[in-house]
Amino acid sequence: MFVIDEADRLTNPEDKLKLAEFIKLLSDKGAEFKVLIVGVAETGGELIENHESISRCMRETRLGRMSDTELEQIIKEGSKKANLTFDDSVKNKIVKLSAVYPHFTHLLALKCAEDAIAGDYTKIQLKHLKKAMDNAVEDSEGTLKRMYDGVVRSSSTEMYRNILKAAASLNKTEFSAKELRNATNAQTGNDNSQQSLTNYYKKLVSDGNSTILRRTGKGVYRFNDPRMPSYIKIATEEF
């Protein structure tokens, strides 16, 4: 068995196509050699260049999202080994920001621990978490940071930041244009019209994976990378 971990890091369509052709060739030859592809995606087809001829060669196994209790257990076990104590308020905050993804639980807890060891203290409080979050944003997955910064920092308006923060706050796999508008209005405190928001969507939404949001139907969107909502929450959280 050949295991390919973090397959979502493959961004070149040609590389994905070669991988798909490799798997199809193994299947056509009746080879006993198997390929296990592991990655973060909504569907298995997003990890490779999906086409009909390979669908019969694949079997998808979707992993369920972790519960808050399981995420908290990660912090408890790690802090015990490091002889550190996390305040309950910090643990709760990390779990909330992680939004079911252990990647961010590990990252935030790690940055808290690094700062504690460097600062020679053993009890981690909310005042320490803010610095850890800033460090986590800088060290986070490169693709997430590049896509977010490419939209937010290249613009002279806060609307892109507000729209993305509103989308992340919905905590839904898919959401409607109406839901996003209501969340954006709550975020900005203004009654933004659907037409005015559509002008911003041109930079945020597409039918493919080149933008942060993907259009899955008429007036229905989702994040291209399911980790992005957690990244946005961490990057925009205010204390």
For the chain of 239 residues, list the mean pLDDT of each consecutive stretch of 10.
87 85 88 88 73 75 86 96 95 91 91 94 93 84 84 88 95 92 95 92 90 93 91 85
* Fold of the CATH domain 142-236: Arc Repressor Mutant, subunit A (1.10.10)
d(CA 93, CA 182): 25
Asked if CATH classification 1.10.3430 holds for the domain at 68-139, the reply, yes or no, is no
Residue with tokens 């973090």: 6
pLDDT score, position 145 = 86
pLDDT score, position 79 = 95
pLDDT score, position 75 = 97
pLDDT score, position 47 = 79
Note the pTM of the prediction, 2 decimals.
Answer: 0.73
d(CA 204, CA 63): 28
Kindly list the domain boundaries of the chain, sorted by start residue. 2-55, 68-139, 142-236
d(CA 75, CA 71): 7
pLDDT score, position 185 = 96
CB count within 10 Å of CB 19 equals: 19
